[in-house]
Amino acid sequence: MKFFPASALRTETKELWQALDRDEDIILTTNGRPRALVIDIPGGDLEMSLKMLSSARAMLALQQIRTAAIANGTADMSMAYIDAEIATARAERHAAEKTS
């Protein structure tokens, strides 16, 4: 894995391509912080690479949701509690619909 400032896209293009040719992943940075990942497309198979990227994004999103649930305490909710909350919300919605 190699880190390059985003400006390297203009000034160090040859080095970027060489890193990709060596199967290195490239991290583009802005103000020293990681901003983008540049990877080689194996065998030029763009469709498969995009599918894999989509799967990786979904896994990352799921992990972020799990982390947030642990942080805010919702990860410990029982199914009985969740079912009761759903029943309450449905009853409130039903009551509101009756009055409209």
Residues 7 and 20 in one domain: yes
Q: How many domains does one find in the chain?
A: 2
Domain range for 94: 44-100
Q: What is the pLDDT of residues 7-54, one digit of tens each?
A: 999 999 999 999 998 988 999 999 999 999 998 888 889 999 999 999
Residues 94 and 76 in one domain: yes
Residues 99 and 51 in one domain: yes
Residues 27 and 55 in one domain: no
pLDDT for 58: 97
Nearest by Cα to 24 from 4, 42, 39: 39
Residues 52 and 97 in one domain: yes
Here the tokens at position 42 are 């194996």
3-state secondary structure of 5: strand
**Is the pLDDT at 56 greater than 90, yes or no?**
yes
